[in-house]
Amino acid sequence: MALLQIAEPGQSTVPHEHRLAAGIDLGTTNSLIASVQSGAPKTLLDEQGHDILPSIVSYQEGSTLVGNTAKAHSVSDAENTIVSAKRLIGRSLSDIQSKYPSLPYQFCGDENHPEIVTRQGNINPVQVSAEILKSLNERAEKTLGGELTGVVITVPAHFDDAQRQSTKDAAKLAGVNVLRLLNEPTAAAVAYGLDSGQEGVIAIYDLGGGTFDISILRLNKGVFEVLATGGDSALGGDDFDVAVVDYLVEEAGLSRPLSPSLERQLMQQACTAKEQLTSQADVELSLTLDDGQKWASSLTKETFEQLIASLVKKTLRACRRSLKDASIDAADVIEIVMVGGSTRVPLVRSEVEKFFNQPPLTSIDPDKVVAIGAAIQADILAGNKPDSEMLLLDVTPLSLGLETMGGLVEKVIPRNTTIPVAKAQEFTTFKDGQTAMAVHVLQGERELVDDCRSLARFELRGIPAMTAGAAHIRVTFKVDADGLLSVTAMEKSSGVESSIEVKPSFGLDDIQITQMLKDSMNNAKADIDARMLKEQQVEAARVIESIQAAIAQDQHLLSADETQIIEQVIKTLADTSQGNNADAIEAAIEKVDHATAVFAERRMDSSINKALSGQSVEKL
């Protein structure tokens, strides 16, 4: 290490290096990837010049197709071609089967880990999403000319914990480093907000293929504060199609179950009809039935609007609730931003306009706005804009709580709480000599356990035997900036600590992910080892760089001895990371983390003090 490094406060000593980063809109129907290039966010194109990648993966003999090539198989080979996997991700089997009864797939696996039977074997929805992410990542590396530092992946704002965790798992499977999971409406607000420099309250109405989000945000000098968010994780343009399909099934006198290919044909006809009815008064429809007969009919715009009216109304109810949660009147909203392909439906636009009493904004392509916002955030998180004033303050979409006596849910973190957040609640034993306690974590707004989403169950054991009510069990909920929850429980009255960390029971555990990674690689063992080593080396380089920058900036917070100790562990880490032992590098990183803990805390306290003392000077 250099003897002396001179730098202005707040300035990195490392010469400016542009890190490649991208924003990914992992949509139900379509996905996109965008990146900031020469200061402007742009969507990236594939070799055919398309930016939209249909979110479809087809499992063929010996090959896995993604996007348009997969789409070609969606009718003829519906069982092996997975569309809208986002609707399945992080959901239980019974949930999927009750919400989407006419899917053309054959499901297997257990209740919490449903899988789809394909000719390539059983496929988890997380793997389907991973294929899409992999394809987009390859496109970006080709276009941008190098490996990405990381990506921001967008998720619907009201995605629950299991759905978020599964999205992150998909990225892990795809070998993509996630800088942040970003809520789709917040991403759209960033895309618009940075353009217009507006201040005030805005509403984002995001109706995608399979999901609906409404977010109310306050914009103030680069700060995007989400006041409230709401929506429906199973309501979108696909449901408009389903309404049309059900109508057609009835009109054509068909009875279910239908063959998978006829179901797919109906969905495609319905989707085309919906798109054409944005500019036409009626459309012609034709079907080839299973017996080879043709059936033809027409659909008017009026009938279509009757079919979807109740669905549109449902979105407005969510708008009303979110405004109320935010304590905002519809009249106080200065702008409404429309996001998602389904906002092209004229009835949606006119109803939203009526509700907010002003025409909504559609100046950025509703299909691209989310990816563009994500790209802007990715560029900042990657460290390309150290002077950026932008800050996103997002919220938890759903309340988090615990099961209490009588099958009731006690809320620990209410919905629309700004994240990150940590909240603790104390409980006690209700029997003499009780040594264990069951903890059941739930997500949702309803009072009864059965009406909420069960996220995890675990048992706290080893509570010292005491009389009923004497033990103090502290359960702590933490939600990080990605909106992901972790729960710990601890018995504290006797000084005996017993704590446990839980991950949601849905989705995949680390062992399953490693197994899937192995399965996906031809030369499994060697490939995986190489990847692990590479990951640790990248992490080591990041740690070294950030600590050297920290020392250059804040050496005055360390004594000479402390500086020497830190420099020593950094040197060890630098040496170790030259080698090829991933575990040793990981251990060396841990040592550095340990040795720099106090320094990191001092830096935080010092910058906090500086921030507010600067403010009081301003006031004077």
- Among 286, 418, 564, 580, the residue binding other proteins under the rule CB under 8 A is 418
The correct pick among 334, 436, 496, 604 for binding other proteins (CB under 8 A) is 604
Q: What's the closest the beta carbon of residue 370 comes to other proteins, in angstroms?
A: 18
State in angstroms the smallest separation of the CB of 446 from other proteins.
Answer: 11
Within its chain, how far is the Cα of 523 from the centroid?
Answer: 31
321 binds other proteins (CB under 8 A): yes
Residue 423 interacts with other proteins (CB under 8 A)?
A: yes
Strand order in the sheet with 437-443: 408-413, 400-404, 437-443, 453-460
Residue (486 or 512) nearer to other proteins, CB: 486
HSE, side-chain direction, 13 A CA sphere, residue 92: 12
Q: Would you say how long the chain is, in residues?
A: 620
Asked if 106 and 116 touch (Cβ cutoff 8 Å), the reply is: yes
Angle among Cα 22, 23, 24 to the nearest 5 degrees reads: 120
Beta bridge pairs of residue 25: 32, 154
176-179, Cβ contacts within 8 angstroms, sequence gap of 24 or more: 176/133, 176/134, 176/137, 176/148, 176/150, 176/151, 177/148, 177/149, 177/150, 177/151, 177/538, 178/150, 178/151, 178/152, 178/153, 178/482, 179/21, 179/149, 179/150, 179/151, 179/152, 179/378, 179/381, 179/382
Looking only at residues 94 through 123 of this chain, which bind other proteins when binding is defined by CB under 8 A? Answer: none
Smaller CB separation from other proteins, 14 or 526: 14
483/14 Cα distance (integer angstroms): 32
Kindly tell me which of 54 and 383 has the beta carbon lying closer to other proteins. Answer: 383
CB of 152 to other proteins, least distance (A): 9
Residue 596 interacts with other proteins (CB under 8 A): yes or no: yes
Please select the residue that binds other proteins; options are 341, 383, 397, 507, rule is CB under 8 A. 383
Strands 30-37 and 21-26: antiparallel
Vertex 489, ends 488 and 494: CA angle to 5°? 140
**Judged by CB under 8 A, does residue 382 bind other proteins?**
yes
| Smallest gap from residue 390 Cβ to other proteins (A) | 9
Among the options 161, 184, 403, 482, which is catalytic? 184
DSSP secondary structure, 29-90, as one string? SEEEEEEEETTEEEEPP-TTS---EESEEEEETTEEEETHHHHTTTTTTGGGEEE-GGGTTT
| Residue 280 contacts other proteins per CB under 8 A | no
The footprint of other proteins on residues 132-161 (CB under 8 A) is 150
**Of 423, 534, 405, the residue nearest 488 (C-alpha):** 423
The reply to whether 175 sits near other proteins by the rule CB under 8 A is no
| Residue among 40, 45, 108, 391 that touches other proteins (CB under 8 A) | 391
Q: Of these residues, 46, 51, 77, 86, which one is catalytic?
A: 86
* Least distance from other proteins to the Cβ atom of residue 607, Å: 5
309 binds other proteins (CB under 8 A): no
Active site residue 86: yes
x/- mask, other proteins, residues 216-255, rule CB under 8 A, reads ----xx-x-x------------------------------
State which residue, 320 or 571, has the beta carbon closest to other proteins: 320
Nearest approach, Cβ of 474 to other proteins (angstroms)?
16
**Look-up of token digits 């906090």:** 608
Query: Is 518 an active-site residue?
Result: no
324 binding other proteins? (CB under 8 A): yes
Spatial separation of the C-alpha atoms in residues 404 and 421, rounded to whole Å: 22
Identity of the residue, 334 or 424, whose beta carbon is nearer to other proteins in the bound complex: 424
Angle between helices 582-619 and 524-554 (to 10 degrees): 30
The number of residues that bind other proteins (CB under 8 A) is: 51
What the block records as the tokens of 560 is: 């000479």
CB of 222 to other proteins, least distance (A): 8
| Sole residue written with tokens 């049309």 | 244
617 binds other proteins (CB under 8 A): no
Active-site residue 161, yes or no? no
Binding footprint of other proteins on the chain (CB under 8 A): 150, 179-180, 220-221, 223, 225, 317, 320-321, 324, 380-383, 389, 391-393, 417-423, 478, 480-481, 542-543, 546-547, 550, 589, 592-593, 596-597, 600-601, 603-604, 607-608, 610-612, 614-616
